[in-house]
């Protein structure tokens, strides 16, 4: 069996820690041999998966930077060739479609996450795995379906899947696990497909009009509802797709994910904060419709459907942020009381 001495002689490498390990076989379960800066470095590995397998790619990100950076450049060029048209259209949709304008926050937050976790990522052992190719192949199939099926959503999510597959293949499963939240955040910047979008907006339209029709009579406003149309004494209010609350819902959910990352430490509390954004956004949209109905009844219908309708959208979103902060405070107080009790 080839030992460390023969391995280093075969590859023409000087050796560190030779006195202790020079006679050990290179596939021993307690030793990892890695070529770092043209030096064979021996490390104890314990009993983790893959221990004892001689690989020229062993080591951490810092140790393998000479190999990984050229690979990263090649992969980046590959992604540019495949996705430059997809990315241009995605940015255009962020700018044109108000429902997805929050997408501009996503690239900056992804970069911040990578910078914030740089030390943890640098310490993750690099263990390339051929298993990642299955995700790469899946992503390429999804990309082909998106291109030839004229479905932008498939083309866009294939970018995230392909990036995850490349990370898995070149750096290993552990690195992929460390980056799973980053990939989740990237999905938040992808607009939903029209089929799914319509399935969400229409029930929201009906629910918002139903609740608003139940609340307006409490303020002596007579109403008659037919579907998503609310008939007032002087005018009809149609809860259109843009007024369904989907815009504030998606934006507030994204903000809640970002806000939770900074304000909460536990994953459970972050999930609770993100989920709390859903009822907050729905309730804010209902109050916006109720406020519009009150302005129609007691003020001026033209101003209610003009200035107030636009201004109330911003006002309700600000109030939603206040409610989100209030929920975060409650979660923090609950955590503090639990820690004090312990």
pLDDT, one tens digit per residue, over 207-246 is: 888 888 888 888 888 888 887 788 787 777 777 665 666 7
Where are the strands (E) in 263-342, listed by range? none
Higher pLDDT, 306 or 94: 94
d(CA 311, CA 329): 27
Smallest CA-to-CA distance from 204 within 282, 292, 317 is with 282
229-231 and 224-226 strand pairing: antiparallel
* pLDDT (tens digit per residue) in 168-217: 998 889 999 999 999 999 999 998 887 787 788 878 888 888 888 888 88
Instruction: Answer for the pair 161, 135: CB distance below 8 angstroms, yes or no.
Output: yes
d(CA 320, CA 46): 50
Which pLDDT value is given to residue 66?
64
Instruction: Answer for the pair 191, 153: CB distance below 8 angstroms, yes or no.
Output: yes
Instruction: Enumerate long-range contacts of 231-235, CB under 8 Å, 24 or more apart.
Output: 232/293, 232/296, 232/297, 233/297, 234/296, 234/297, 234/301, 235/296, 235/301, 235/305
* pLDDT (tens digit per residue) in 39-65: 344 444 433 333 333 344 455 555 566
Across residues 307-319, what is the average pLDDT? 76
pTM of the model: 0.73
* pLDDT (tens digit per residue) in 323-333: 999 999 998 88
Instruction: Answer for the pair 253, 260: CB distance below 8 angstroms, yes or no.
Output: no
Residue with tokens 């009579």: 217
Across residues 327-340, what is the average pLDDT? 76
pLDDT of residue 288 exceeding 80, the answer is yes
52 CB-near residues (< 8 Å, 6+ apart): 27, 28, 29, 30, 31, 32, 45
pLDDT of residue 109 exceeding 80, the answer is yes
d(CA 122, CA 179): 12
Q: In this structure, what token pair is assigned to residue 189?
A: 């910047």
């Amino acid at each position: 069996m080839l030992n460390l001495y023969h391995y280093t002689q075969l590859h023409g490498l000087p050796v560190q820690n030779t006195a202790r390990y020079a006679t050990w076989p290179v596939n021993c379960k307690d030793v990892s041999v890695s070529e770092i800066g043209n030096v064979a470095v021996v490390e104890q590995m314990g009993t983790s998966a893959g221990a004892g397998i001689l690989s020229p790619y062993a080591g951490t990100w810092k140790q393998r930077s000479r190999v990984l950076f050229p690979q990263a450049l090649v992969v980046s060029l590959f992604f540019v060739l495949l996705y430059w048209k997809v990315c241009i259209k995605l940015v255009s949709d962020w700018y044109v479609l108000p429902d997805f304008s929050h997408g501009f926050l996503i690239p900056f937050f992804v970069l911040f996450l990578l910078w914030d976790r740089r030390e943890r990522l640098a310490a993750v052992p690099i263990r390339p795995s051929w298993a990642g190719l299955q995700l790469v192949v899946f992503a390429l199939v999804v990309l082909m379906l998106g291109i030839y099926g004229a479905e932008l959503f498939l083309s866009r999510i294939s970018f995230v899947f392909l990036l995850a597959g490349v990370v898995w293949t070149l750096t290993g499963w552990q690195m992929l696990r460390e980056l799973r939240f980053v990939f989740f955040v990237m999905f938040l910047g992808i607009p939903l497909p029209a089929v799914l979008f319509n399935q969400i907006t229409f029930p929201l339209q009906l629910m918002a009009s139903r609740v608003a029709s139940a609340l307006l009579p409490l303020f002596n406003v007579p109403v008659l509802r037919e579907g998503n149309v609310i008939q007032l004494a002087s005018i009809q209010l149609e809860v259109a797709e843009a007024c369904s609350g989907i815009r504030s819902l998606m934006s507030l959910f994204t903000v809640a994910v970002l806000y939770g990352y900074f304000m909460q430490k536990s994953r459970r509390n972050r999930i609770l904060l993100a989920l709390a954004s859903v009822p907050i956004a729905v309730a804010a949209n209902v109050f916006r419709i109720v406020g519009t109905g009150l302005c129609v009844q007691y003020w001026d219908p033209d101003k209610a459907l003009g200035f107030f309708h636009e201004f109330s959208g911003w006002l309700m979103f600000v109030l939603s942020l206040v409610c989100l902060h209030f929920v975060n405070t409650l979660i923090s107080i609950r955590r503090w009381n639990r820690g004090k009790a312990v």
